């Protein structure tokens, strides 16, 4: 039987528990799943490509059929290069649907044999996005439970010197640690 190789493309800036939930689900239905991290060219990412790759590798090593790679340029060109026949994308809410549908149909036009497969993350992650995680972290809010611990630590190191984070926390809770 034909083996299904899927890629899971995204910016992963940063990787969230919602992404990991989807990777776990994908690893169960695809023979191979390649997490393909985009080297963003338009916007400056918070984490460098190397950092995002390193964190993703650490968090996915538990799944034998999952590997991590990076790409730039058209996603379909990368998919053809690694001989993938499917693209995994997550849909959280109806609001994701329009953008995802547009992208899936455009990708189908570019590469008719590449199928986009949509999966839903656990409900607990249906409101979670990298953008919100970045914003909350930058404003000194709590992000535990939203991202893996290693990502949480790296985020804090990046966006807030420890004393500043503590200052905001104290102001919010009124308690010193």
Residue 153: active-site member: no
| x-or-dash string of contact with ligand PNS, 38-57, rule CB under 6 A | x-------------------
User: With CB under 6 A as the contact rule, which of the stretches 6-14, 114-122, 142-150, 152-160 interacts with ligand PNS?
Assistant: 6-14
Among 8, 9, 22, 23, binds ligand PNS (CB under 6 A): 9
61 phi, psi to nearest 5 deg: -65, -20
- Nearer to ligand PNS among residue 147 and residue 160 (C-beta): 147
If binding is defined by CB under 6 A, does position 75 make contact with ligand PNS? yes
If binding is defined by CB under 6 A, does position 106 make contact with ligand PNS? yes
If binding is defined by CB under 6 A, does position 107 make contact with ligand PNS? yes
Residue 112 CA to residue 20 CA, distance in Å, equals 28
Residue 43: active-site member: yes
112 phi, psi to nearest 5 deg: -60, -25
Residue 95: active-site member: no
If binding is defined by CB under 6 A, does position 103 make contact with ligand PNS? yes
Residue numbers of the site for ligand PNS (CB under 6 A)?
Answer: 9-11, 38, 74-75, 103, 106-107
């Amino acid at each position: 039987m034909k083996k299904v190789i899927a890629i899971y493309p995204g910016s992963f800036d940063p990787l969230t528990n919602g992404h990991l939930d989807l990777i776990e689900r994908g690893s169960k239905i695809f023979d191979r799943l390649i997490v393909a991290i985009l080297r963003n060219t338009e916007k400056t990412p918070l984490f460098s490509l190397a950092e995002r790759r390193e964190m993703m590798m650490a968090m996915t090593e538990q799944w034998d059929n999952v590997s991590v790679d990076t790409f730039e340029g058209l996603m379909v060109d990368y998919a053809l290069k690694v001989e993938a026949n499917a693209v995994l994308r997550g849909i959280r809410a109806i609001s994701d649907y329009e953008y995802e549908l547009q992208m899936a149909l455009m990708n189908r036009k570019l590469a008719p044999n590449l199928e986009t497969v949509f999966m839903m993350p656990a409900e607990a992650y249906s409101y979670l996005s990298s953008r919100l995680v970045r914003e909350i972290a930058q404003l000194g809010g709590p992000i535990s439970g939203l991202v893996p611990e290693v990502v949480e630590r790296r985020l804090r190191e990046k966006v807030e010197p420890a004393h500043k984070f503590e200052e905001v926390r104290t102001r919010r809770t009124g308690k010193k640690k």
